[in-house]
A and B are shown apart, each in its own frame.
Chain A
Amino acid sequence: MASQEKITVYNLADLKNTSDDALTNYLTSLKFTQTHRLTDVRLALGYSAFALSAACFAWDYKFGFEQTKYCTAVAVAIYTILNSFLTFWIFYVEKGTVYEGTSPSGQTAIKVSTSTNKNDPVYRVTVEVKDKKSGKKEVIKLEKEFREWFDVAGRFVAVPFQSVLATGVPAIGEVDTKRVQGAAESKKNETVTAAYTPELLEALANAGVVGSAGESASGTDAKKGGKRRKA
């Protein structure tokens, strides 16, 4: 992580875009093949609309308004249709998709879309996994806070990000077994195990180590409470 770019941790768009880019890079590095179908349609729509308006500009410049009135009217109508279709495509078909591709084995098709809510630093990932042979579809939703893979200065740390994906999505976890965290390991990261279990404390109290029986009850409670607070 030597020459890493730092982003502003308060800028939700930066966080999301960096994570989206990292997700694409990660899946590509795992030899998933990406299909650019959605992007290509969007580019085709956009550039054809732009070309139409450029043509309209050119013939208006060359021939003047009066002669090209009707062509211009038709061009404006077609442009409106293209632009509306492009907007519809982006909102309803793409719907926040950042990656669409197939696993290295060619068995599963995977479609990842991400979203964020305003002023909420949570990365919401929806993964649609479709087994090509059986046609079975599965939708997995992950919600993780950005702070799990961005440090306080704004540098992106790849390993925790990759484990989140590999652990959450079996299709990715199969390919990248290194990053799949077992249930016990992830539990360890979430809670600090108490050094003194309640049973041990009771045993100690009964043995008289922590003073009289009456005091010991509250003593163990206080000890338990203290440990809990730290945990």
Chain B
Amino acid sequence: MLSALGNPRQAAAQIMNFGLILSTAFMMWKGLSVITDSPSPIVVVLSGSMEPAFQRGDLLLLWNRNFLEETAVGEIVVYNVQGKDIPIVHRIVRKFGTGDKAKLLTKGDNNNADDTELYAAGQDYLNRKDIIGSVVGYIPFVGYVTIMLSEHPWMKTVMLGIMGLVVVLQRE
């Protein structure tokens, strides 16, 4: 098995196989991102603010294009607070105006107050461009893997290392 590494072309081919697995996964993610027009088309629910609809660890599928109608009151959307990288999943409860200039107010179903406190200092409403997508589907519980990986980052390295070893040493 290690004798394969003696031949440079074969070693290159093995490494290429591993590289292609990674790059195909990445390109599929990017392709989905471009189709849905969302920087992050799949997000994991991190808090319990939308219970009983969504629990912590659910995987949400997003769609960010407004083909048929504009984002309306009652839709569940995901947005990033300006300057922070944490996606928040809440429902739109107020809308003022139309089109790109519309101002939107959100609130979590399981929260007592609306999101005014969560927004950046001085910001009272969200703009359409702050929203990275509306929820169109979900898969329960699957997202817990991502939560674990982000809370224990060493697991990512271990997983990648194991995958790499398996692909390079196996030639099936």
Residues of A whose CB lies within 8 Å of any CB of B are 5, 13, 17, 21, 36, 39, 42-43, 46-47, 49-50, 52-54, 56-57, 60, 64-66, 69, 72-73, 75-76, 79-80, 83
Bound together, the chains give a CA A79 to CA B23 distance in angstroms of 9
Distance, CA A125 to CA B4, complexed state (A): 21
Decide: A60 and B172 in contact? CB cutoff 8 A. no
A17-B171, A21-B3 known; A76 vs B30 contact (CB < 8 Å): yes
Which residues of A are found within 8 Å of B26, using beta-carbon distances? 53, 56-57
Having A53-B24, A72-B33, one finds 8 other A-B pairs with CB under 8 Å, namely: A13-B172, A39-B13, A43-B16, A60-B30, A65-B39, A75-B27, A75-B30, A79-B27
Name which residue of chain A comes closest to B9, CB basis: A39
Q: Tally B residues with Cβ within 8 Å of A.
A: 21
Q: Are B20 and A49 closer than 8 Å at their CB atoms?
A: yes
Residue of B nearest to A76 (CB): B31
Please provide the 7 A-B residue pairs with the shortest distance between their CB atoms, ordered closest to farther: A65-B39, A53-B23, A46-B16, A76-B31, A73-B34, A50-B19, A13-B172
Does the CB pair B9–A65 fall under 8 Å?
no
Question: A17: which B residues are within 8 A, CB to CB?
Answer: 171
Q: Are B12 and A43 in contact (CB under 8 A)?
A: yes
**Cβ-neighbour of B9 out of A43, A57, A76 (below 8 A):** A43
- The answer on a CB contact under 8 Å between B9 and A36 is yes
* A43 contacts B27, C-beta separation under 8 Å: no
Majority SS of interface residues in chain B?
Answer: helix
Contact B23 A47 (CB under 8 A): no
CA distance A36 to B13 in the complex (A): 13
Q: List 25 A-B contacts (CB under 8 A).
A: A13-B171, A17-B171, A21-B3, A36-B9, A42-B13, A43-B12, A43-B16, A46-B19, A46-B20, A49-B23, A50-B20, A50-B23, A52-B23, A53-B27, A56-B26, A56-B27, A57-B26, A65-B33, A69-B34, A69-B37, A76-B27, A76-B34, A80-B27, A80-B31, A83-B24
Chain B residue nearest in CB terms to A86: B20
Find out whether the CB atom of A47 lies under 8 angstroms from the CB atom of B27. Answer: no
Residues of B near A79 (CB, < 8 A) are 23, 27
Write out the residue numbers on chain B whose beta carbons fall within 8 Å of the beta carbon of A52.
Answer: 23
Task: Report whether A56 and B20 are in contact in the complex, using a CB–CB cutoff of 8 Å.
Answer: no
User: A50 and B34: CB pair below 8 A?
Assistant: no
Q: How far, in angstroms, from A19 to B12 measured CA to CA in the complex?
A: 20
Minimum distance in angstroms from A82 CB to a CB of chain B? 10
Q: Are B30 and A47 closer than 8 Å at their CB atoms?
A: no
Tell me which residues from 35 to 61 in chain B have a Cβ below 8 Å from any Cβ of chain A.
37, 39
Q: Beta-carbon contacts of B1-31 to A below 8 Å, as 1s and 0s?
A: 0011000010011001101100110110011
**Nearest CB in chain A: distance from B18 CB, A:** 10
Residue of B nearest to A65 (CB): B39
Give Cα A54 to B22, complex, Å: 10
- Name the A residues within 8 Å of B13 (CB-CB): 39, 42-43, 46
Closest to A79 in B: B27
Residues of B with C-beta under 8 A to A39? 9, 13
- Contact B16 A50, beta carbon cutoff 8 Å: yes
